[in-house]
Amino acid sequence: MANRSPAKRASAAIPHGLGRAELLEMYRLVRLTRSLEEKLELLFKQSKVIGGLFRSLGQEGESVASAFALRRRGDGTGDMLSPLIRNLGSMLTIGARPVEVVRQYMARGDSPARGKELNIHFTDYRRGFIGQISPLGDLVPVMAGVALTFKQRGEDRVGMVYIGDGATSTGAFHEGINFAAVQRCPLVVIVENNGWAYSTPTRMQTAAKSFAAKAAGYGAAADRVDGNDMLAVYGAAKQAVERARAGAGVTLIQVDTYRRRGHAQHDSQSYMDAAEIERWAATSDPVDRYVAALTGSGWASARELAEIDRAVDAELDAAVAEAEASPLPEPFEARTDVTGDGPVAGPWYRLDPPDPTKA
Amino acid sequence: MANRSPAKRASAAIPHGLGRAELLEMYRLVRLTRSLEEKLELLFKQSKVIGGLFRSLGQEGESVASAFALRRRGDGTGDMLSPLIRNLGSMLTIGARPVEVVRQYMARGDSPARGKELNIHFTDYRRGFIGQISPLGDLVPVMAGVALTFKQRGEDRVGMVYIGDGATSTGAFHEGINFAAVQRCPLVVIVENNGWAYSTPTRMQTAAKSFAAKAAGYGAAADRVDGNDMLAVYGAAKQAVERARAGAGVTLIQVDTYRRRGHAQHDSQSYMDAAEIERWAATSDPVDRYVAALTGSGWASARELAEIDRAVDAELDAAVAEAEASPLPEPFEARTDVTGDGPVAGPWYRLDPPDPTKA
Amino acid sequence: MATATKRRAKPEHVSLTAQGKPVTLLEAIREGLWEEMERDPSVFLMGEDIGVYGGAFKMTEGMLEAFGGLRVVDTPISEIGFTGAAAGAAHMGMRPVVEMQFIDFIACAYDMITNYVATSRYRGSGAVPMVIRGPSGGYVRGGPFHSQNPEAAFFHTPGLKIVYPSTAYDAKGLIKAAIRDDDPVLFFEHKWLYRRPQLREVLPNEDYVVPIGKARTHREGKDLTIVTYAALVHKCAEAAELLEKEDGLDVEIIDLRTLLPLDDDAIVESVKKTNRLLIVHEDTRTGGIAGEIAMRVSEKAFEWLDAPIQRVTALDAPIPYSPPLEDYFLPQTDDIVKAARWLAGY
Amino acid sequence: MATATKRRAKPEHVSLTAQGKPVTLLEAIREGLWEEMERDPSVFLMGEDIGVYGGAFKMTEGMLEAFGGLRVVDTPISEIGFTGAAAGAAHMGMRPVVEMQFIDFIACAYDMITNYVATSRYRGSGAVPMVIRGPSGGYVRGGPFHSQNPEAAFFHTPGLKIVYPSTAYDAKGLIKAAIRDDDPVLFFEHKWLYRRPQLREVLPNEDYVVPIGKARTHREGKDLTIVTYAALVHKCAEAAELLEKEDGLDVEIIDLRTLLPLDDDAIVESVKKTNRLLIVHEDTRTGGIAGEIAMRVSEKAFEWLDAPIQRVTALDAPIPYSPPLEDYFLPQTDDIVKAARWLAGY
Ligand SMILES: Cc1ncc(C[n+]2csc(CCOP(=O)(O)OP(=O)(O)O)c2C)c(N)n1
Ligand SMILES: Cc1ncc(C[n+]2csc(CCOP(=O)(O)OP(=O)(O)O)c2C)c(N)n1
Ligand SMILES: [Mg+2]
Ligand SMILES: [Mg+2]
């Protein structure tokens, strides 16, 4: 997984049928992801983030590159994905906006989940993403059903669902991917092997030689790719997406990467080897490697990238300012949208005068 | 899977280190299994069986042969198994008695489950079997835990759990076998592929090329065997049991067989191909094939087998008579053994006079 | 596919009402499912053995042939899987109806239903119009895992609706209402009622729904209110007849039909009339829904109560299999009679 | 392995009581777990990240080092798997204690717990001595899946016991009782109480247990009974102080401690003294355990009630994340004050 030296790639043709504009857009997205998380970390340290903060440092590349392989439209006719907590990059790639993410983390009333759900747990069917819930694995069956409906309706749309190395141990993952495979649903399952599930190393999660090896147990196609090589991830994802779109069913792609931060901000990472983290940072940072590929291959100039960086910073400053100006939700909102039958009853003892018959 | 002609096996040495006595005992057990089910079917037609009746016709061989590979003791120091509804043969092999089974099916008060649970859902830890419950897959995690304790205590005991082709689709199966494999628990998982899950053919259950292919996804050893060749099943099971006993962890064995009857008595099998059933009956009945092997190889004479048949019939006649003489449970027993704190409260309105304060 | 099949003549077994023939509770639900499948192409069915086999109780018989494999989906044995898949399909605008082969196995999908499906609207992921249905209840010697009444496990989950009908008319009207409802509905079908000849009735030969959330007065009375549902509606009716004959008691029976949301008004109104309340359910005692009903009546009609609210329920145990045990475990008509007598005499 | 480790000196963080230092609720449970691990080699721990990491809340910190990997088992993310495995180990004579990283995920094991574990004794497969424990409850901005109170989902399952302590003393005594109990015990730990300095207390430096099934009078009073448990014991106490000062009301607080089996006698006795009952729980309203308590009081002490039983609970919704929403959603001290005032004035 040694970093490819610019030399080796010099004057290479752009792979996977990508154009220069797309390469730059992918750069913008991965940069946006990392910078947004850095902003969030700042806000977290200022106690402006409510609840935990989850970094995807070192994994942003695969999030962006895999989602980039989807048909991204924003009008409800494109592909659909469901991310994990560390797939901020996938969300931004398919259309989530930084200001939405900041509002979510700051529990604002105008955040997509209106303060009812946290961090990147939010949904937009038109843009093509379905927010996960905390119980791991549950979105695999759900996305299998999304893909089933594409098949039922004869739509050439594809679903993509992300699952961590740890979450592959859940019954939901198993039942969902088996269902999708036997029904030949157009679904791509990205297994993110970042080496850790909270403090649990992969070897304590499963005795399987690889996660790709699980595919055969479902009759799904398998692929495995260096998760910090954005172009490789894009290539693998693109192929799987096209397979699915062509009606050839489920592909499980193992993307190997590394979680350089703790599970969340509170996690000291005491159980991790600092040298290992350093090595990944030095030799396999997805952004560095992508920049090296872009510049080393003459696909982009340092100046172009610097411009993008400036634009990203400006966008994020604006997003944070906007989010900070956002109001917290109205308490009453706690009662809305439980069912379609209107707000649920409020507490009788908060009435004036209190009246239990009105409960 | 063609039936081996006696000629081919003539004067062959007994494989897998088995002795003649063991061969005859296996014959007795498989005969006992089939004949007991035939008796039960008779009782069912006389409406003496309460609830459903499940036949393992055509699968008895693998049940007996796999369980026969276990250390069977009856004093709580042997191996442990957990059967499925169609593993009557495994139960009898590890020590369940026909009269217990008949009492269970007749819902008698002196049945092992005292009328609280049905058919072969009963347990004896000393003899080494744990009754399943209806929700499929649940016993895989449970048996993983049984095997975990063997490992914790440094006991050289082994667990064996049966799972149907259909039940491999459950989350419980997945979580249980993955847990056992990563913990290197001494567990053997027998996947019984009998072609059907109720009315669902294997191809609608999973797109996997085989069930053995699932093993790699858990880092478990895999084997696959002709389930109606008792000696082959014994050999595969024996090897897996010894692997487990030696601390080498989990083996998944796919045994291919065929469910010649419906899911239960009420099932007309309309969805099955009569010719296919006939073909399995004619060319691959496990008992016929075993008899052919025994006699064709000069390991047993027709006279010996006939004697065993007579003994089995006598035993079963006695068992049925005994069971029919057994009492139904006392109603009050419905209140016992919910917790260790004594019987649960009875209904206040059945007191004389009724008294709700005593509920 | 739907259109293609509309041209076919409707099979006999789903044309009984059209022919003016009486239907059982099972047949009523089957007709309801069939008519919704014809009415709305976004409705589809999923479950184990529901296709070729037509389901363990033959509820979906003939539907695969009529509507095809894309709308009648045989699934692997994966309650988490197909329940979650139904939610995903619902997100995309479909209206899935999933069958638990026996409702007992809904426990396997407990997380998916309570954490994912029930909270979707609240989380901002939108309504999840789906129905989870299946054969429920005891009195059939089914043992601990083929006899359960699962309502209490879900009654506590905001975002769900729960329906448990006792008559053919209600069953057909409520399955249609459930399918058309934008929220997830758990639709429980009592297998002891499925084919009971006494429940056969001729249904209106037109499209109708029974509103979710409205109880029904099964029997009018002034001396005592019995609130119940599902199979026990019929045992309560038996008891009421007997109490009228033997004690001259005039018992009112409220059939809840919908358990969530509860129809407080119907209950309270009846209690204010009779001043005595007996709650009867087949489910076990502790944590059964009788408690919630009693709590609400205490909150809203305490002063109208002339006697303590009482309940007749199953015992606090798993459901035993052997007839003497199950008979003792489950509420029987005679139990209702005795409890009602005690209350009336209070 | 156990013996080998006994020789080691006990780490500081589980020696606080031995040193006469006060402990938090979390530290009390940790000491209880540690002491049971030392006392009985059949006790062992399973869960996600409980080994090297010591658990998400550090409950099992240092235990892997002290007791080794065979007794402190880090599991895959498999609630069905390790819960079932615990049952299997219990069958073999072990006494497993499994941790749900957050109790919300117990939903994934709902089938295994209610259908397999809870029914084992009844089915003739013997007692299943195991404990399922985990951080529970709200007031921590945890959102819908890190704030749940799961008691109502299991309260309905015969065969289980449920414990939910509110003080350090009870927490230590009850975790020991739970581990020594032959039945499966769900042990819920309120994360808002885990490290609350106000709950610090010096515990007896000897082995003690608090019996399962016995409530505790947290505060004596004669005007009104409040039945509550877990975090709300402390909000009720706050409210009681205020009501004494401002209204001269003498409020009795019963801390259930054990939810299953319920201590009817303690509740009924108090109600017979005060003739007014307010039930307060953090869980949502419909189907929460308040209903069962009200039902039982109605059955056993109806004539002693001078006012309708009332309850203060969370709203019937998932648990929202944003502070203004969670504050509005959950019961607050002021709510208890208002409800108690209304009851007292009735
Ligand atoms: C069913 C379930 N069990 C436990 C948890 C607690 N939990 C949250 S994240 C996590 C680790 C996830 O690891 P992995 O799947 O590898 O994803 P990663 O964090 O590495 O991206 C755990 C155990 C959960 N969310 N859901
Ligand atoms: C979780 C669960 N879902 C559904 C059922 C209903 N059911 C009972 S047996 C069966 C088919 C089992 O097929 P398989 O696992 O292949 O075992 P076989 O009957 O072929 O021996 C089904 C669906 C169940 N018992 N448990
Ligand atoms: Mg990971
Ligand atoms: Mg099968």
Give me the DSSP letters along B96-148: --HHHHHHHHTT-TTSTTTTSS-TT---BTTTTB----SSTTTHHHHHHHHHH
Q: What is the helix (H) or strand (E) element at residue B64, kind and residue range?
A: helix B60-68
Alpha carbons C315 and C318: distance in angstroms, whole number: 8
Q: Which two tokens stand for residue D275?
A: 């003739």
Write down the pLDDT at residue A274: 96
Q: Is D131 helix (H, G, I), strand (E, B) or coil?
A: strand
Decide: D101 in ligand 1 pocket, CB within 6 A. yes
DSSP A211: S
Looking at all shown ligands, the one closest to residue D56's CA atom is 1
> Residue D320's closest CA among A337, A327, A350?
A337
Lowest-pLDDT range, A162-176, B9-23, C143-157, D330-344? B9-23
DSSP D206: S
Ligand 1 pocket test: which of A55, A118, A136 has the largest number of ligand atoms within 8 Å of its C-beta? A136
Write down the pLDDT at residue A319: 98
| Residue recorded with tokens 């479902």 | A218
How far apart are the CA of C106 and the centre of ligand 2, in A?
A: 14
Query: Is D89 in contact with B152 (Cβ distance < 8 A)?
Result: yes
Measured torsion, CA atoms of residues A174, A177, A182, A185, in degrees rounded to the nearest 10: 160
Q: Is C291 helix (H, G, I), strand (E, B) or coil?
A: helix
Nearest-atom index, ligand 2, CA of B138: 1
- State mean pLDDT over C134-144: 97
Q: What is the helix (H) or strand (E) element at residue B294, kind and residue range?
A: helix B286-296
Looking at all shown ligands, the one closest to residue C142's CA atom is 2
Q: What is the helix (H) or strand (E) element at residue C185, kind and residue range?
A: strand C185-190
Q: Which two tokens stand for residue D234?
A: 């402390």
Q: C-alpha distances in angstroms, D327 versus A33, A101, B323, D43, D314?
A: 32, 23, 63, 39, 10
| Residue recorded with tokens 């970093």 | A3
Give me the residues of chain A with pLDDT under 50, please.
Answer: 1-10
Q: Which two tokens stand for residue D297?
A: 């009081």
Within 8 A by CB and 6+ apart from A355, the residues are: A348
Write down the pLDDT at residue B11: 57
Write down the pLDDT at residue D338: 98
- State mean pLDDT over D149-159: 97
Write down the pLDDT at residue D7: 53
- State mean pLDDT over B132-142: 98
CA A124 from chain centre, in angstroms, equals 14
- What's the gap in Å between the CA of B49 and the closest CA on chain C? 11
Is 50 exceeded by the pLDDT of residue C1?
A: no
Is D218 assigned a catalytic role? Answer: no
Given a contact cutoff of 8 angstroms between Cβ atoms, the answer to whether D335 and D235 are in contact is: no
pLDDT tens digits for C71-114? 999 999 999 999 999 999 999 999 999 999 999 999 999 999 99
Question: Of residues D13, D146, D218, D234, which has the active-site annotation?
Answer: D146
Closest residue to A143, CB basis, from C88, C90, C124: C88
How far apart are the CA of B135 and the centre of ligand 2, in A?
A: 8
Alpha carbons C297 and A359: distance in angstroms, whole number: 11
- What's the gap in Å between the CA of A349 and the closest CA on chain B? 31
Alpha carbons C308 and C296: distance in angstroms, whole number: 14
- State mean pLDDT over C118-136: 98
Which chain A residue lies closest to B183 (C-alpha atoms)?
A204
Decide: D181 in ligand 1 pocket, CB within 6 A. no
Peptide bond connecting A112 to the previous residue in cis, omega within 30 degrees of 0: no
Q: Is B70 helix (H, G, I), strand (E, B) or coil?
A: coil
Whole-model pTM: value is 0.97
Write down the pLDDT at residue B12: 81
Nearest-atom index, ligand 2, CA of B193: 16
Alpha carbons C21 and C14: distance in angstroms, whole number: 11
Write down the pLDDT at residue C7: 53
> With b meaning 16 or more CB within 10 Å and e meaning fewer, what string describes D192-219?
bbbeeeebbeebeeeeebbebbebbebb
To the nearest whole percent, how much of chain C has pLDDT over 70? 98
Write down the pLDDT at residue A357: 86
Is 60 exceeded by the pLDDT of residue B10?
A: no
Write down the pLDDT at residue C3: 43
A308 touches chain C (CB under 8 A): no
Instruction: Place B9 in a pLDDT band, splitting at 50, 70 and 90.
Output: very low
Write down the pLDDT at residue D9: 82
Write down the pLDDT at residue C5: 46
Which residue type is seen at C26?
Answer: L
Alpha carbons C312 and C329: distance in angstroms, whole number: 11
- What's the gap in Å between the CA of B84 and the closest CA on chain A? 20
> Residue A345's closest CA among D152, C216, C264, D342?
C264
Within 8 A by CB and 6+ apart from A94, the residues are: A67, A70, A72, A78, A79, A81, A127, A128, A129
Q: Which two tokens stand for residue A85?
A: 């907590």
Is 60 exceeded by the pLDDT of residue C249?
A: yes
